[in-house]
């Protein structure tokens, strides 16, 4: 008798449990949503219509003497020169600097360079600007945009003709990851407010680096990415993409062309605006889910570059880590890290 009742009881419990759970699933969707994260504004940048400087038409190239390109060349190619979507990969030997100078000089371009110097990173600005004055876009009009929380800490560096410096104050956050991820937002807002009127091309780089060799118009393109020096010879399964499905920066196992470095990217100012805006929105979505990507905005940058492929890719010559031994395939390192003690800096 007891067992009989027990069996009935068990059956009733299971039945009731199932019914309740199924009901709960449907009722859940009807519940009014009460959670609206406070840091999800609907910024007015969504609705802004930017008036860009007119696109410059290429002028006829002045006559210049340079050797004829050899079509049937049998030179051993260590570095790939062309991506599968026909974007050039820029490295020493793939271009003729004089010819490019003849193409780009007559256009009277202004190139912007954004850099973030927050907290103790202001110490790098001096060295950075001095090396940029020597090597970055020599002969062109340049606008440096230094974003900092302490404008007084930015040193006065003598600038060449046609080059100027803009110091933009920003808010400092307690966590360094937060500072890093806010860069996309700040860059896109800055373009919307100011840079779209002032520059034709914009590059966004890290401040704790120096220019070591000429960085010229070979880097100009519609949307430019640089290959991360740590992963250029590594299969895609080992790229440190964000691998959690929940994140907007998720990259599946078989996907990915290159691992691009977050320290260098750029292009035409309109394209950089769209790019940073897209990354910023993906970061916001992740914030709403309470997740931060494995390498902060670099993961989002990589995710976006998979679906919006860059039109030009810079080889690791343009983003190098001096702690690594320079391989023979990279002929001329142009932009590399400054040795630093990260723990002290981020405190």
Least distance in angstroms from the C-beta of 3 to other proteins: 11
Least distance in angstroms from the C-beta of 238 to other proteins: 15
Least distance in angstroms from the C-beta of 160 to other proteins: 26
Q: Which is nearer to other proteins, 90 or 226 (CB)?
A: 90
- Range 322-330 contact pairs with CB under 8 angstroms and sequence separation of 24 or more: 324/229, 324/230, 328/78, 329/78, 329/79, 330/79, 330/91, 330/92
Burial class (CB in 10 A: 0-12, 13-18, 19+), 292: buried
Give ∠ CA 117-239-332 in degrees, rounded to 5. 60
Size of the site for other proteins (CB under 8 A): 79
* CA distances (Å), origin 200, targets 140, 266, 298, 312: 11, 11, 24, 16
Q: Which of 103, 137, 199, 209 binds other proteins (CB under 8 A)?
A: 103
Q: Which is nearer to other proteins, 93 or 155 (CB)?
A: 93
Q: Which of 27, 35, 237, 344 binds other proteins (CB under 8 A)?
A: 35
Restricting to residues 48-87, which ones interact with other proteins according to CB under 8 A? 58, 60-61, 63, 65-66, 68-74, 76-77, 80-82, 84-86
Q: Which of 50, 52, 92, 96 binds other proteins (CB under 8 A)?
A: 96
Least distance in angstroms from the C-beta of 322 to other proteins: 27
Residue with tokens 């006829």: 60
Least distance in angstroms from the C-beta of 236 to other proteins: 8
Restricting to residues 4-23, which ones interact with other proteins according to CB under 8 A? 5-6, 9-10, 13-14, 16-18, 20-21
| Sign of the alpha-carbon dihedral angle for 101, 103, 106, 112 | negative
Active site residue 298: yes
| Residue 99 makes contact with other proteins by CB under 8 A | yes
Q: Which is nearer to other proteins, 176 or 250 (CB)?
A: 250
Q: Which stretch binds other proteins (CB under 8 A): 91-99, 138-146, 162-170, 179-187?
A: 91-99
d(CA 318, CA 17): 62
Restricting to residues 224-253, which ones interact with other proteins according to CB under 8 A? 236, 245-248, 250-253
Contact of 280 with 296, CB cutoff 8 Å: no
> What residues have CB less than 8 Å from 119, skipping those under 6 apart?
149, 150, 172, 179, 345
Burial class (CB in 10 A: 0-12, 13-18, 19+), 329: middle
Side-chain-facing half-sphere of 182: CA atoms under 13 Å = 17
Least distance in angstroms from the C-beta of 4 to other proteins: 11
Task: Please report how the helices 297-307 and 176-190 are oriented relative to each other, as an axis angle in degrees rounded to 10.
Answer: 50
Q: How far is CA 327 from the centre of its chain?
A: 25
Contact of 331 with 91, CB cutoff 8 Å: yes
Contact of 89 with 313, CB cutoff 8 Å: yes
Restricting to residues 265-304, which ones interact with other proteins according to CB under 8 A? 278, 281-282, 284-286, 288-290, 303
Q: Which is nearer to other proteins, 9 or 169 (CB)?
A: 9
Restricting to residues 157-196, which ones interact with other proteins according to CB under 8 A? none
Q: Which is nearer to other proteins, 2 or 325 (CB)?
A: 2
Least distance in angstroms from the C-beta of 150 to other proteins: 33
Q: Which of 26, 46, 158, 344 binds other proteins (CB under 8 A)?
A: 46
Q: Which is nearer to other proteins, 288 or 332 (CB)?
A: 288
Q: Which of 185, 218, 242, 298 is catalytic?
A: 298
Side-chain-facing half-sphere of 318: CA atoms under 13 Å = 29
Question: 270: closest CA among 222, 220, 218, 206?
Answer: 222
Q: Which is nearer to other proteins, 122 or 247 (CB)?
A: 247
Token reading at 335 = 């932009």
Restricting to residues 114-153, which ones interact with other proteins according to CB under 8 A? none
Which residue numbers are catalytic? 298
């Amino acid at each position: 008798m007891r067992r009989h009742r027990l069996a009935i009881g068990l059956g009733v419990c299971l039945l009731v449990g199932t019914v309740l759970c199924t009901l709960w699933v449907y009722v859940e969707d009807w519940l009014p949503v009460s959670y609206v994260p406070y840091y999800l504004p609907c910024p007015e940048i969504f609705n802004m219509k930017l008036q860009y400087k007119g696109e410059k038409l290429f002028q006829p190239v002045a006559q210049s003497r340079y050797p004829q390109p050899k079509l049937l060349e049998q030179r051993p190619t260590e570095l790939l020169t062309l991506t599968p979507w026909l974007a050039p990969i820029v490295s020493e030997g793939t271009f003729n600097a004089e010819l490019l100078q003849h193409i780009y000089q007559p256009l009277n371009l202004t190139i912007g360079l954004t850099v973030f110097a927050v907290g103790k990173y202001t110490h790098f600005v001096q060295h950075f600007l001095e090396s940029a004055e020597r090597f970055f876009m020599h002969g062109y009009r340049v606008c440096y945009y230094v974003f900092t929380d302490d404008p007084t800490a930015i040193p006065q560096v003598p600038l060449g003709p046609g080059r100027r410096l803009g110091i933009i104050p920003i808010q400092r956050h307690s966590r360094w990851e937060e500072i890093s991820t806010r860069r996309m937002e700040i860059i896109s807002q800055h373009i919307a407010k100011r840079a779209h009127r002032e520059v034709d091309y914009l590059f966004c780089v890290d401040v704790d680096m120096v220019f070591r060799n000429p960085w010229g118009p070979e880097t100009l393109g519609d949307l430019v990415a640089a290959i991360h020096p740590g992963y250029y010879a590594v299969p895609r399964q080992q790229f440190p993409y964000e691998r959690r499905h929940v994140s907007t920066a998720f990259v599946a196992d078989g996907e990915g062309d290159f691992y691009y470095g977050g320290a260098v990217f750029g292009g035409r100012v309109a394209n950089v605006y769209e790019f940073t805006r897209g990354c910023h929105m993906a970061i916001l979505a992740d914030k709403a889910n309470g997740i931060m990507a494995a390498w902060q905005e670099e993961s989002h940058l990589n995710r976006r570059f998979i679906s919006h492929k860059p039109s030009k890719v810079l080889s690791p010559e343009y983003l190098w880590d001096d702690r690594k031994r320079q391989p023979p395939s990279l002929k001329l390192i142009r932009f590399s890290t400054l040795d630093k003690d990260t723990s002290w800096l981020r405190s």
